[in-house]
Every structure is written in structure tokens, then in C-alpha cells.
A and B are shown apart, each in its own frame.
Chain A
Amino acid sequence: MEVHHSLGTTTDWVVMVIYFIAIMIFGSYFSKYNRTTTDFFFGGRRFAWWLIAMSILATGVSSHSFIKYSAKGFEAGFSSTMTYMNDWFFVPFFIFGWLPIIVYTKIRSIPEYFERRFSALTRFLATLLLLFYMIGYVGIGFLTMGKAILPLLPPELTLLGVHFNVTLMGLIFVIGLIVGIYITYGGQTAVIFTDLVQGFMLLFAGLLIFVLGLDYLGGFKVFWNLLPTEWKLPLAHFNDPPGFNFVGIFWQDTVAGSVGFLFMNMGLVMRFMACKSVDEGRKAAIFNILFLVPLSAIVVGNAGWIGKAISSVNPSVITPNTNPDEIFVVVSNIISHPGVFGFIMASLAAALMSTVSTLLNATAAVYINDIHRPVKKWLTKKAQSWKEANEQELLSARIATVVLTFLSVLSVIPFSQFPTIYEAHGYFHSTLTPPLVTAIFLGVFWKRYTNAAVIGTLVGGVALMVLGMYYPRPLIQIFDHGTAFDPVHPYTYIGALYNLFVCSLFAVLATLTTKLQIQIVGKIEKQENHRLIMSTFIAASFLIFTLIVFDLASLPVLFILTFVMVALVVLAANYYIEYNHEKKIDGLTVWSINKAKEYFKGSKINDREGEKVKVNWKLKDGADDTVHFAKNDMKRMSAEVGDLVYICDVRRYFGGLKSVHSIYGEPHDEDSAVYISKEHLAQGQFGKGKMLTAEKEM
């Protein structure tokens, strides 16, 4: 396979460095909006849909990356767009179910949802799996960045008299350092605003490559006629080859990937938490999936299509055996002029940085919420003021970001063993997402799903997934839809179907046998030695899990033992964990969203439709979290004392940056005036003499 080095000119490097410095300065400007950890992680729940849509685009596009889709575009044609056009099937679940739940329950992380819906133990298991998932996801981002930048560098460098061999891992360490600095001082608001710039830049850069590429080839008609028919099809061959086929990618990406991305990608979930309201979140999601994502499919894959067309008309310019992961860089270099190539590469690197920084920020949020706070609560009895605690958490969040960056860099090592980033990402998705995806999905949409069942799902699902890795034949083979067996990377994509099936199987079995479990536990509790029995169950479960993880028995024995282990674990969960099912599903499933809305507000919902009003702000003396409007303005907004209100600078281009949420206090008689506290002013950063719009939330 042909490997490239030293692509680009000095002008390109100058453009790249200037671009990066500008982005870092721009991002650091927004650090003043990080007054609390809520601002640092969630941007203060204030932004408009268009800002969030662009931010999701920058995060989503780069996470699926120019590199890997151009690689697949070069190998397989227009079917590289497949994974960008298959997200719609879970939209009803998301916009009517999960989105209102994450906003109204005010959860700060996915594991926190697990604790509130199930138990502390479930939260712990979810935290472990989620951290693995997110660190791995960031690792893939770093690998992509490394592979993108490596062809630009010479094979060796001498800096200040010290000689370096330029290696992929060395480069990734340097990239990790830069990203760590950027995210540590910016926070979520910085990420959202730099995403806005980067989102436009990468759309422009991707389309620029397409236009320049078509120009290079002699126009669209020449390009179209150069490609064979199979290449123009939007969906890949049903089950061939093993490295890129439709049915495997359907289960790995359309099902596991889409649910994983929408339901458990903390980076995305935090974007929606930063939206000013549920409706604004819906607008952002729909606009993104309907329009921005199909456009992105062209933006990220076209370098591969152009590369294929050039290689078929002139194989000496691009050889057919070019490393697919380098095709994006190679094509960009061939079709563009010095400086333009630098701009394209800077956009790519910045977009990747956006994804990686978003995920690092999200991973730090999981650390603070699900490890730092519970451990601190457990270890210290000392009472801290809100300000002290917040300052300490902000510092811990920054330190956590640095540590997580380092762990993510290390996680690149196993992923770099796959032939392309696409396959590494596919395998990663099909193995790490199914247990959590099944648990979250059923937790939200199936009200009968219990705490013992979710523990059974996670433990049993992981055990049978491990067996699937050891014995892809016959376990995964049953689900292969005719996909050929590749002994080096067996069932990279279709493995997701097997993994989803085994997790769902334990979920259903454990839920449907709930009454039986309670009866058995009741009988055990009547025994004198009930504690010993339960301790034996736990010890036996650990033993069986060890046998499975180290493959210490034959497949039939391990397979049967998995079911025995799940039965023991489920009984132990019922025995040890106090779980009130009715209380745990209240406001936390799709079946009780109205309750969640009431809990969010703290009182009865006021759904009467009102108008938006324009007001001048004035400072009040008190520091309580209420704002005071005129009686006439309250009437126009159909608002009552105690309702929730959103106040925002009238200038729409701020996208909600200067805004605040509050509660209606007692009204006054001064029309078009709102009295706010100093804290509201500090949060909203309202300009002196600038008008505000106010609208009732609920």
C-alpha cells in the first residue's frame, strides 16, 4: 500500500497555524460564560436551535470524519453515504421520548439516569461501560487526526538540534496535548461557539473539494461517466465483502449506532441539554438529520469519489493501491493550490478537534457527576459553600479532562491494528454499544423493565458477547445473513446484531420472570442461612464470569453457565437492592412524561399559549431567583406567578448566549419593564440599555 509523506507547502502550514491560533483565541473568549460546572458542561441551557444544529453537525460530521468516509468512498463509491442517511428510524423515539426526558429530569449524565430509574449499582455499571465507550470514541478521533496529519509531515524532523522520527503515536501524543489545553480552558460554551465556525468551515471545505475535483476532471458529466454503475449506488451490496456490506452496517450503524448516538453519546446529549427548550431541541435534531446530514454525506465522502475517478482516468496521479485512509489528503493536495490545501487541512483538523473536545468535555462531565461527587460525598463530611464546591469541581473537571485525554491517546493502540478507521469504528460500535443501548432504550420505553433485569442485561449481555468474540462460529454465524467469515476480523459489523440480540434476550427473560424471582427471594429470606446462600450466589457468579472471560471451558458449558450466572445475579439484585418499581418509573419513562414536566417545574403545568414580549431590564434589590414583569405583560404571555420564564437579548444572532431562565415573581404596574437580580445579570451578561425578549416556558 502506498504511503505518503511531506505533502503540502510552507504556505499551507502557515494557513494551518493561523487557523488554529484564531480558533483557540475565539474559544477562550467564551470561558467567561463558565460561571458554574453547569455552564462548563451544559452551556447553561440557553441556546437557539440553529446554534445547536451547527454544533451537532461539527461534532457528528467529524466524528464520522472526512478520512474514513473518503476511504470508503474511494473503495466502494456513493454507498459511503449510507451511514449518513439512515438515522430517521429512531427519530420518533428521540424527539417525543428521550429528548423531553433528559431535559425535564435535569439529569447531568447518562449514568445518573440509570441511578434514578434503577439503582446506584446500575449507575456504577453504566459509568464503567460509558467511560470505556467514550474514551474509545475519543481514541478513534485521535487516530483519525493522526492519520490526517501524518502525510503532511516528513518521515524525520530535527527540532533545536534534536532528531525525531515522525510516528503515528508520537504525533497523536502532541495532538492530545493541544486538544487538552483547548478544552480545559474553554468549556461547553467555547465548544458550541467554535463548533459554529468550524461547522461552516468544514461544509465549505468539503464542498470546495467537490467543486475543485469536478473542475480537475472536466465537469460533472465526465465524473459521472467515469464511475461504474455499482459505484453510483447509494447502498452497498447486501452481504459482500465482509469489510463493507449493507446488512452488517445496518445493524451496526442504523440500529446500534443510531440509538447509541442519539441516546448515549454524552457529547450529543449535552448539546440538547444546552438548548433553551425541548421544542428548540426538536428543531435542531430535525433540521440536522433532514438537511445537514445528507449534505455532510457529500462533504465527507466526495474526496474518495473524486480520487476513484482520477485513478481510473490517470492511475499515475493516484494509484489504485493508495492507502484509503490517506485518500482525502492526497486528493485535496492534487486538486487544490498552496494555501487552499492548508485551509482544507485546517478545517479537517479543526473539525476533528471539535469532536474530540466535545467528547472529552462530556467524559469529564461523567467523571464529575458519577465518580467525583459520589466519592466526595462518601469520603468527606465537611460542609462546603456552593461557591467553594463549584470552584473545586471546576478544577477537578479540568484535571479530569487532562487525564482522560491521556487515556484516550493510549486507547489508539488497539484501534490502529485495523486496516481502516472505518472498520475500527465499526467494530468498536458493534461491541461496546449494545449493552448500554439495550439498557437505556428499554429503561425509557418499557415500564416493566426492572432493576434486576437491567443488571441481568448488562452482566449476561457482556458475558455472551465475550463468548461471541471467542466463538464467532457458530454463535454470530447464526445471524450473519450470508456474510463471509473473515478469520482476522470476524463479523466486524453483523456482530452488532448478535450482541443486541443477546442483551435483549436477557432483558426480556429477566423482566418477564420478575414475579418468580421475588417469590424465590422471599423463600430464601425465610431460611436461617439466607445471607450465606446469597454470598454463595455472588461468589459463584464471579467464578462463572471469570471462566467466561478467560475461556476456561468448552462452549456448551460456558453457554449454559452464562444463563445460570444471570439467574444468580438477578436473584442477588432482588435480595440486596431496595427497589420500588412504581416510584422508580415515575417521570422517568416515556409513559410518564407529563409527570416529568411537572417535576421539572415544581408545580402544575401552564400550557396556555402566550406571546413573546419585549422588555427593558432593571436591577432589583433582592437576590432570589424570581423576575418581575408588569401585569399587562404577564397577561400577554399567559403567565402566572410561579411559572417558568426564558429571557433573552433581542439580538437573535447571539443564539441565546445572552439569556437566562427564571421564575415569574409578583407583578408590578410598569409596562415593558422586567426587574432582575444581580445574579441574573451576571448569568445573562445583558448589555446596558439593550432590550430583552421574554417568553413563558411552562
Chain B
Amino acid sequence: MPSFFNTWLPFIYLYGVGGIFFVCGLVIVKKSGAYNPSNKRHRYWWKITIFGFFYFMMMHALLILAALYL
């Protein structure tokens, strides 16, 4: 069985540290007014942006589980 350094640590680091950058991006574009919640298209892209983060997180988690248990 591969070690924690090979399996979940890279995953936690990727979405932990990467997640900090991602959340900072959301906060900055919201606070600066670049994201305008009253604009329908902006609301659509905002949801897609958050969806994308979890889409990649799920994909990586499933691939690790498949490698370990399938």
C-alpha cells in the first residue's frame, strides 16, 4: 500500500493551499466589484467557478480511491 506521502498528502496540499488562492480570488473579485451579483451572466459564471473547484476535487479523490481499491 502506498504511503500517505504518495496518496492523500498531495491531495490535501493541492486543495488546501490551492484552495487558499481560489478563495482569495473569489473574495477579491467580489470586494472589488468585478463580480457584480446583480448581473445575470456574472451570477452564472460565479456558480460555474465554484462548481469547477469541487469538480476537480471530486475527480482527484475518485482517482485516488480507484488506484487504491480497484
Contact = CB atoms under 8 A, between A and B. Distances in A.
A238 B67 contact: no
A229 B2 contact: yes
Contacts of A78: 63, 67
Contact of B63 (A89, A234, A250, A445): A234
A591 B33 contact: yes
Interface in B48-66: 48-49, 52-53, 55-56, 59-60, 63-64, 66
Contacts of B19: 89
Contacts of B7: 233
Contacts, number: 122
Q: Which DSSP category, helix, strand, loop or mixed, fits chain B's interface?
A: helix
B29 A279 contact: no
Interface stretch (A57-65, A94-102, A121-129, A616-624): A94-102
A236 B10 contact: yes
A566 B69 CA distance: 54
Interface string A270-313: 00000000010010001001100010000000000000000000
B2 A230 contact: yes
A286 B53 CA distance: 12
A97 B33 CA distance: 10
Most buried by A among B35, B59, B63, B67: B67
A309 B51 CA distance: 35
A250 B13 contact: yes
Given A89-B21, A91-B52, A286-B52, A100 B34 contact: yes
Nearest to B9: A238
Nearest to A594: B33
Contacts of B48: 286
A625 B49 CA distance: 37
Contacts of A239: 5
A290 B52 contact: yes
B29 A93 contact: yes
Given A235-B60, A591-B34, 4 more contacts: A89-B53, A235-B64, A246-B13, A255-B21
Interface of A: 78, 85-86, 88-93, 95-97, 100, 224, 229-230, 232-240, 246-247, 250, 254-255, 279, 282, 286, 289-290, 294, 445, 589-591, 593-594, 607, 609
21 contacts: A86-B14, A89-B19, A89-B22, A92-B28, A92-B29, A93-B29, A95-B49, A96-B35, A97-B28, A97-B32, A229-B2, A233-B2, A234-B60, A235-B11, A238-B10, A250-B10, A255-B21, A286-B52, A591-B32, A593-B34, A609-B40
- A-B CB proximity, top 10 nearest: A92-B25, A232-B67, A235-B10, A96-B29, A246-B10, A234-B63, A89-B18, A238-B5, A93-B25, A591-B32
